[in-house]
């Protein structure tokens, strides 16, 4: 709080009574904002930015990621601040009215629905400093009405923090969540421990992941009753926040290690970012950095340090801040790992397919549109259709090539009628649905593949071995296009060997990031591969998917090459009903003199 209003009457030339009279007249007549409000009402919390109670979020920032239903988190957090309300005379700092404060927060969060978390914060000020004698001494007025001291301890404003996910960051490119914070006026407003009325602070949380890095952003509004202390005005505010959470490798007994950094800013709605009135309309601005980890089973520990950004400390710009938290997290039992807890999973041993259709019951939905045709054989899984039309309505033409889907061999790719609606991607005059190498030019006698194209898939006694890796976008479960050819060949092998399997698609990662993060990523990647094969006509009942994170490396993670090899997808045969010796997928014997490609182009990989 700037104390420059004291300048006109601190020359030491006036009698103390005259000083008080001039000071009060100045307050009453200095502006319309003060004419309507009590300049000594106080009635605001001197520490405006609070730690989040939410699970899987930042330090004070909210995220959009949600744990499984039934998960809970309880923590005890100690928050110590230095220099949180200062007294200045012009550019000279006279001291701190509130030199320090130690708050204890009992935080609790519980996931009641896949999209809804309920959280609460019960704060209690353990001790705070009181140096309002500075103001009384500056005015030489021991009975000045605005210089009364504050309580050394007391209850703060209870916070209720419901959080609702709008877009799941594991399914959408950007995660979105709505947080509806409500602060109840349970604190002592006259001691700067709370508000004099209910404060409502809705905000939107945005989240985006890039590998082990999660970026968080919050934007919101604080609706509150007007409060004032001397020249400091506190009213409705625009709130902004940005930060990052970085997953780090485990360190001995410390698991799920994370580093965090955040910036927080709130500015008056009546005059946002207005530095010309900085003496009265403050823009709290602070930075925080921290780390957190699991230390033993469900128990965790977090440490945060921060400070206000500005030349001098004061409201919302404390000189130093440190937070220490001890937490207990309990994840609900989820036997099949589909995100639906066993307590309400109708199929606890069968994974939910999470395709947007009845995803909350925990059961596989093999026929989303209810037309009696399994999704793996249905070309229109979301539109009821006829069996003779392969599950599509009779007048559907998805790719717009003039052929109805039930007559189109490639309903998602436009192609000429003479090729049954399929394109010829590599120009070898073989439609893609008949071309075993649709992206490589090759002669018909070699099924559209170049003669030097080796078999990329080998069927062994316990697995289908692929020569190469399935590639994904960094930190995502989106398959890169260059891996489609390899997966198409896997699908071709499974289609030609209907007795092969069932097949467990295993996802594996390197050791960069926490175990929870990597298990989740590998699970989503294995699921993406399974859905790709199902889309190629492989019956869903022949496939299953499971992510192992970094638990099963095939080489050392100490080098970039080792980590690249450990980031892989394996196809393990759970049961091979026909004894199958290790073999390579047979390729036709090339003729003695292979024909040349048109235009003299040499065949080969692109």
| pLDDT the model gives residue 228 | 85
pLDDT given for residue 153 in this prediction: 95
At 306 the pLDDT is 95
Q: How far is Cα 349 from Cα 331, in angstroms, rounded to an integer?
A: 18
What's the CA gap between 560 and 512, in Å, rounded?
Answer: 11
**b/e map 534-558, b = 16+ CB within 10 Å:** bebebbbebbbbbbbbbeebeeebe
pTM: 0.56
- 581: buried, middle or exposed (CB in 10 Å: 19+, 13-18, 0-12)? exposed
Q: What SS3 state is found at 472?
A: strand
Residue ranges in the chain modelled with pLDDT below 50: 1-35, 576-606
Collapsing DSSP states into helix, strand and coil, what is residue 96?
strand
From CA 524, how far away is CA 507, in angstroms rounded?
8
CA atoms of 208 and 16, how far apart (whole Å): 60
Instruction: State residue 363's pLDDT score.
Output: 65
Three state DSSP letters for 537-598 = CCCHHHEEEEECCCCCCCCCCCCHHHHHHHCEEEEEECCCCCCCCCEECCCCCCCCCCCCCH
User: What domains appear along the chain, each with residue ranges and CATH number?
Assistant: 4-325 (2.40.160.40), 335-365 (no CATH), 401-600 (3.30.1330.60)
Beta pairing class for 320-330 and 154-155: unpaired
Q: What is the CA radius of gyration of the chain?
A: 33
pLDDT digits (tens, 9 = 90+) for 17-28: 434 433 433 333
- Measured at the CA of 140, the angle between CA 24 and CA 196, to 5 degrees, comes to 50
What is the reported pLDDT for 604?
A: 34
Residue 311, both tokens: 């030349």
Q: Distance between CA 194 and CA 191 in Å, rounded?
A: 8
231-242: per-residue pLDDT in tens?
888 889 999 999
Report how far residue 79's alpha carbon sits from residue 125's, in angstroms, rounded to the nearest whole number: 9
CB atoms within 10 A of CB 176: 16
Strands 237-247 and 255-268: antiparallel
The confidence score (pLDDT) of residue 198 equals 95
Per-residue model confidence (pLDDT) at position 516? 84
**DSSP of 383-409:** S--BGGGTTB-TT--TT-SSS-GGG-S
Per-residue confidence (pLDDT) for residue 517, from 0 to 100: 86
- Predicted local distance difference test score (pLDDT) of residue 597: 38
CA-based nearest residue to 527, from 550, 551, 546:
546
């Amino acid at each position: 709080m700037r104390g420059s209003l004291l300048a006109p009457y601190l020359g030491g030339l006036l009698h103390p009574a005259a000083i008080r009279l001039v000071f009060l007249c100045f307050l009453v007549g200095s502006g319309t904002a003060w004419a309507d409000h009590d300049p000594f009402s106080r009635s605001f919390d001197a520490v405006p930015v609070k730690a989040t109670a939410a699970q899987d979020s930042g330090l004070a920032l909210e995220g959009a990621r949600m744990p499984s239903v039934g998960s809970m988190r309880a923590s005890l957090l100690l928050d110590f601040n230095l220099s949180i309300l200062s007294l200045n005379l012009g550019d000279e700092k006279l001291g701190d009215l509130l030199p320090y404060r130690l708050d204890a927060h009992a935080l609790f969060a519980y996931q009641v629905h896949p999209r809804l978390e309920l959280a609460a914060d019960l704060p209690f000020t353990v001790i705070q400093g009181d140096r309002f004698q500075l103001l009384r001494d500056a005015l030489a007025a021991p009975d000045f009405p605005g210089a009364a001291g504050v309580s050394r301890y007391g209850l703060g404003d209870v916070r209720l923090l419901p959080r609702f996910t709008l877009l799941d960051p594991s399914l959408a490119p950007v995660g979105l969540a709505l947080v509806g914070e409500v602060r109840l006026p349970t604190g002592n407003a006259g001691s700067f421990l709370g508000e004099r009325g209910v404060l409502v602070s809705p905000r939107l949380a945005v989240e985006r992941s890039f590998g082990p890095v999660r970026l968080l952003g919050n934007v919101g509004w604080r609706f509150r009753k007007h409060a004032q202390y001397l020249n400091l005005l506190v009213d409705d505010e625009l709130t902004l926040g940005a930060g990052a959470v970085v997953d780090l490798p485990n360190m001995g007994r410390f698991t799920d290690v994370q580093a965090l950094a955040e910036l927080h800013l709130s500015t008056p709605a009546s005059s946002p970012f207005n530095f010309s009135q900085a003496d009265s309309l403050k823009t709290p601005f602070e930075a925080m950095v921290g780390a957190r980890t699991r230390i033993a089973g469900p128990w965790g520990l977090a440490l945060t340090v921060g400070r206000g950004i500005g030349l001098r400390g004061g409201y919302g710009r404390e000189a130093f801040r440190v937070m220490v938290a001890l937490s207990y997290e309990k994840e609900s039992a989820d036997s099949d790992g589909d995100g639906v807890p066993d307590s309400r999973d109708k199929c606890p041993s069968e994974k939910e397919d999470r395709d947007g259709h009845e995803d909350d019951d925990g059961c596989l939905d093999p026929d989303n549109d209810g037309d009696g045709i399994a999704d793996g054989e249905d070309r229109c899984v979301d539109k009821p259709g006829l069996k003779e039309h392969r599950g599509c309505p009779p007048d559907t033409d998805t790719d717009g090539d003039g052929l109805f889907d039930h007559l189109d061999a490639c309903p998602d790719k436009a192609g000429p009628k003479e090729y049954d609606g399929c394109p010829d991607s590599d120009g070898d005059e073989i439609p893609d649905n008949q071309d075993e190498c649709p992206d490589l030019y090759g002669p018909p006698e070699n099924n559209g593949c170049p003669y030097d194209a080796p078999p990329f898939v080998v069927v062994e006694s316990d697995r289908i071995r692929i020569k190469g890796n399935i590639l994904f976008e960094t930190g995502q479960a989106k398959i890169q296009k260059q891996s489609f050819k390899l997966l198409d060949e896997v699908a071709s092998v499974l289609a030609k060997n209907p007795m092969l399997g069932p097949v467990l698609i295993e996802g594996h990662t390197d050791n960069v990031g926490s175990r929870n993060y990597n298990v989740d990523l590998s699970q989503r990647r294995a699921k993406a591969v399974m859905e790709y094969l199902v889309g190629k006509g492989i019956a869903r009942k022949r496939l299953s998917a499971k992510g192992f994170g970094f638990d099963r490396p095939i080489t050392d993670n100490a080098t970039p090459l080792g980590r690249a090899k450990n980031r892989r997808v394996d196809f393990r045969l759970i049961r091979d009903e026909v004894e199958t010796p290790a073999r390579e997928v047979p390729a036709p014997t090339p003729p003695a003199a292979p024909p040349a490609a048109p235009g003299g182009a040499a065949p080969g990989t692109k």
